[in-house]
Structure 1
Amino acid sequence: MLIAHLSDPHVRPDGSLYQGVVNSNVQFAAAIAHVNALDPRPDLVLLSGDLVDHGHADEYAMLARLLAALEVPVLAIPGNHDEREAFRAAFTNQSWLPANGPINYAVGDRGPVRIVAFDVTLPGLHHGIVSEEGAAWLHGVLAAEPARPTIVMMHQPPFDTGIPYMDPYCCREGHRLADVVARHPQVERILCGHVHRVMQMRFGGTTLCTAPSTTTAIALQLRPDATPASHIEPPAMLLHHWREGTGLITHVVPIGTFPGPYPFA
């Protein structure tokens, strides 16, 4: 099973730039075209939040226009820049979408890997939280299929990254998530967005990784007095490849056209 993972496109209204600098819509369209051109084509696309920049209806209208070009089924969760009910309206025709409350769901009919979407966002706030109710929901969903290889997708990562201007906006009470996941060894990955960078670590007995943004990269500055900064780096995505007997391998894939291929390896 091949799973493309895009994150944090921050789609804007037609003609508007992200932060007045980057055409995030063009960048996301290029990412969608890249996914469509992959050979073999992915079975599924995951979108791990911040699909739009301000949660406005005209942004979601542009998102729908861009996603119409995607030739692969999609699963999505909101991020802190999304507005939950506008998000729900944008995906209203999707069978996985819950009718109310957090955008929590599980999908197991797209291939051998089960996808569990875990919405840790708090409407109106930039940090997330693993609530007691959310942790109980996740435990119940994972317990329902204990032998099934599973990915848990969320937006804010549940750890401090060491980047001082990002860590106040992490997912709090991450110990609850770690406790749940540690009881369910079928969880192959926890996938997050939010930080606009690739990071990976051991968490709850499994591997957690964050996805790059298709728009900008938040600067990797580890000094405690560093000030917020971003760069326009080459956009990228993650590609998760699951095979029987091997498990899940995660690749970082730059988005774009590059010199080659050359006849050597």
Structure 2
Amino acid sequence: MAVDPVDHSGSTPGNVMARLRRPHSDDRTRIAVVADPHVSTREEGTSKLFEHTEAHLERAVADINDRGVDYTLCVGDITKDGERWNFDAADEILADLESPFRSIPGNHDVEKDGYDHENLPLAEFEERYTPGGLPFHERVGGVDVVGLNSAGGDDWLTDSHDGLVTDDQVEWLDGTLPELDTPLVAVHHNLPTMADQLVQHRDTNEPEMAIPPTMRDPEPLLDTLAAHDAPLVVTGHLHLPSTTTERGVREIMSPTTCSFPQSYLLFDVGPDGTEIRLIPVADHEGMMLGHFERHQDSYTGKGLTDMAAIRLAQFPLVDES
């Protein structure tokens, strides 16, 4: 299903995170990418600032509405842990969006062993957030948005928060990518070289830092992306802005709206390539709170906060213009 573009009369705030030669399109298209909102209505505290998650998502929605956005894409973890009431709360906020909204699931959106609450079934997640189920393809202006599920479902990957793009999805992707002009592939979990950045930071700066769940058996996915020269993959999961390339495939990781640096990304795709800007959803006081809470949460939280701060200081992370 094609989504018609809208007028891009909004301003372009925030800081430039990346300028890429690809993807490019004659039809200018603006896509907002939101990652890991972790909406929670009954919890407080932690580095995710649960008591602020609704307000952060509300600010993202309000800002997106001011930016002439064609399409809003979430790369997963809409909720704290897949609770139906948290999905309902997120939907109330997202109902104010003036652009179409789509999402892929994150590891905190799907069923996991040990949960003591009713989880939103994957089929209902697809009914709410994807056009025709997962995986999906949707033409948006000059961009072909492709959504994959690396998070799991009601009866698979329930024993882990690791990621996996299943063989049937890889087969679907292999048949779909050759038909697309300007693919932008969304998946929650990260490619291996992104995880390598965490290992490097741990080994250099934070030896007690744990490595969050990673993608299992990524080679079939990478083989397919590389074989079809897919220009861009957008991910979430680690709650920080970063980028990497692997076998010619560019990955852009979006920060989260819930924890430092509370932000979303704005992708502008045009004839000269793609410009990506980071848009904060918290003021100075909120950023200080987010930094403090995440930094003191754990060795892992400290390491990820330091990585985020380092990358923010290096913007733009890549400039191919």
**TM-score for the superposition, normalised by structure 2:** 0.66
- Which one of the candidate residues 34, 49, 66 is aligned to 1:37? 66
C-alpha separation between the residues in 2 aligned to 1:243 and 1:43?
A: 13
Q: Paired residue for 1:53?
A: 80
C-alpha separation between the residues in 2 aligned to 1:68 and 1:24?
A: 16
Structure 1 residues 139-195: Cα deviation after superposition (integer angstroms, max 9, x where no partner): 1111233xx01100000102123256564511122222221111112x231000000
Q: Secondary structure at the match of 1:64?
A: helix
Q: Secondary structure at the match of 1:173?
A: coil
- Which one of the candidate residues 26, 29, 53 is aligned to 1:24? 53
User: Cα offset for 1:256?
Assistant: 4.5
User: Cα offset for 1:252?
Assistant: 1.9
Give the AA of the match of 2:54.
N
Structure 1 residues 191-247: Cα deviation after superposition (integer angstroms, max 9, x where no partner): 00000001101123121011000001xxxxxxxxxxxxxxxx341111111112x12
Give the percent of matched residue pairs that are identical in Structure 1 and Structure 2: 23
- Which one of the candidate residues 200, 215, 228 is aligned to 1:171? 215
In the TM superposition, what are the counterparts of 1:141-156 in structure 2 within 5 Å? 141-145=176-180, 148-156=181-189
In structure 2, the CA distance between the partners of 1:175 and 1:166, relative to structure 1 (3 Å rule), is farther
Q: Paired residue for 2:273?
A: 247
C-alpha separation between the residues in 2 aligned to 1:17 and 1:73?
A: 30
Structure (1/2) with the larger strand percentage: 1
Q: Paired residue for 1:128?
A: 163
Q: Paired residue for 1:263?
A: none
Structure (1/2) with the larger helix percentage: 2
Q: Is the 8 A contact 1:11 1:63 kept in 2?
A: yes
Q: Paired residue for 1:12?
A: 40
Q: Is the 8 A contact 2:56 2:257 kept in 1?
A: yes
Q: Paired residue for 2:238?
A: 195
Q: Secondary structure at the match of 1:252?
A: strand
Q: Is the 8 A contact 1:177 1:204 kept in 2?
A: no
**TM-score for the superposition, normalised by structure 1:** 0.79
Q: Is the 8 A contact 1:10 1:18 kept in 2?
A: no
Q: Is the 8 A contact 2:61 2:97 kept in 1?
A: yes
Q: Please, which runs of 5 or more residues in structure 2 have no aligned partner?
A: 1-28, 112-119, 203-208, 285-321
Aligned length: 230
Give the AA of the match of 2:137.
A
In structure 2, the CA distance between the partners of 1:44 and 1:83, relative to structure 1 (3 Å rule), is same
Q: Is the 8 A contact 2:264 2:281 kept in 1?
A: yes
The higher relative CO (CA closer than 8 Å, separation ≥ 6) is in: 2
Q: Paired residue for 2:92?
A: 65
Q: Paired residue for 1:116?
A: 146
Give the AA of the match of 2:38.
H
Runs of 4+ deviating beyond 6 Å: none
C-alpha separation between the residues in 2 aligned to 1:11 and 1:190?
A: 24
Q: Paired residue for 2:228?
A: 184
